[in-house]
Structure 1
Amino acid sequence: MTVLLAALGAAIGAPLRYLADRFVQQHHDSTFPWGTHAANATACLLLGTVSGFALPEWAAALVATGVLGALSTYSTFGYETFALLRAGRRFLAFANAAVSLAAGLGALLIGLAVAASLTGAASLTGAA
C-alpha cells in the first residue's frame, strides 16, 4: 500500500514539475534553467515544512516521497548543468549548481522554521 501511495503522489508531482518548469521558463528569456530551479526550491520548502510534522507513514509516502519527490528533480538539474557545460557556459553551469544547492538548503530550513513555529517546537534540530 505504501508503494502505491508513493506512486500516486509521484503521478501528481511529476506533472506539477513539468507545468511549473514550462510556466517559469516562458517568462524568462535565458539559458539559465529557472523552471527547474523554481520547482526544486519549492519542493525543498514544502518538504522542510511537512518534515516538521509527525506524519503517519502513509502520508509521508504520498506527500514527501511521492508528490514532493517528483516535484523536485535531481536528474533534470544534473542534465541541465551538463548541457550548460557542453555549450561552453561554464559560469552559468557553476551558478546553477551553487544557486540550486544554496536555494534548496535555504528553502528546506525556512520550511522547517515554518513547521516549528506552527507546532510550537523549541528548535529546528530537536535539541533542547
Structure 2
Amino acid sequence: MTAPEPEVAAARMTAEPTDPDVDLHVPAQRRQSWRAQGPIVAVVALGGAIGASVRYGAGLLWPTASGAFPWTTLWVNVVGCAVIGAFMVLITDVWAAHRLVRPFFGTGVLGGFTTFSTYALDIQRLVDGGHPRTGLAYLAATLCAALAAVWLAATVTRRLVAGRQR
C-alpha cells in the first residue's frame, strides 16, 4: 500500500471542518464542541448498554441451537424496527422531545437492542455449518420482516395519532 501524495495529505489536513462555524484548532471552541457533544455521547452509550443487555437476555431466554433458524435474533430485530417506527412518529409528529431522548432511545437503546452484527454472524454460521438455504431464508426473512415492521408500526401509529387528534 502506498502513502498518499503529500499534496493530498496536506489538502485533507487543511480541509474545512464538518461544522464550518467551529474551528477545532481553537481550544475554546474545541471545549465548547465537547460540552455540546458529551451529553449525547453519554446517553447513547447508556442506552446502548441497556439495549444490548436486553438483547443478550433474550438470547439467554431463547437460545438458538447450532444450525437452527435464529428465531430470537430475527424477532429482536423485527420488534426493534417496529418500536423505532412508532417512536419516530411520536417524536416527530406528536411531541417535541428533549434533545437527548432521540439519541438515548433511538440510537442507544434500540441501536443496542437490534443487531446487524449478530444477524450477519448467524448467516455466516448457517452457511459455514452446511445450511446455506436456511441462511439465505434467514437473510431474506429478516430484511422483509424488519422493513414491514417499521412501515406497519409507523403507519398504525400515525393513524392512531390522527384519530386521537380529531
Give TM-score scaled by structure 2 length.
Answer: 0.67
Q: Does 1:31 align with 2:68?
A: yes
Corresponding residue to 2:58 among 4, 12, 20: 20
- 1:67 corresponds to: 109
1:42 and 1:71 map into 2 onto residues whose CA distance is: 9
Separation in 2 of the partners of 1:57 and 1:45? 22
**Shift of the alpha carbon at 1:38?**
1.0
Q: In angstroms, what is the RMSD of aligned CA positions?
A: 1.9
Distance 2:110 2:156 in 1: 17
Asked if 1:102 corresponds to 2:144, the answer is: yes
Q: In percent, how many aligned pairs have the same letter?
A: 30
| Rg larger in structure | 2
Distance across 2 between alignment mates of 1:118 and 1:63: 21
In structure 2, what is the equivalent of residue 115 of structure 1? 157
CA contact (8 A) 1:20 1:35 kept: yes
- Distance verdict in 2 for CA 1:107–1:79, change over 3 Å: same
Contact 2:67 2:126 (C-alpha < 8 Å) held by counterparts: no
What TM-score, normalized to structure 1?
Answer: 0.86
Q: Which structure has the higher relative contact order (CA within 8 Å, separation 6+)?
A: 1
For structure 2, the residue ranges without an aligned partner over 5 or more in a row are 1-38
Does the CA contact (< 8 Å) of 1:48 and 1:108 recur in 2?
yes
Q: Which runs of 4+ in 1 moved over 4 A?
A: none
1:74 shift after superposition: 0.2
Contact 2:67 2:125 in 1 (8 A): no
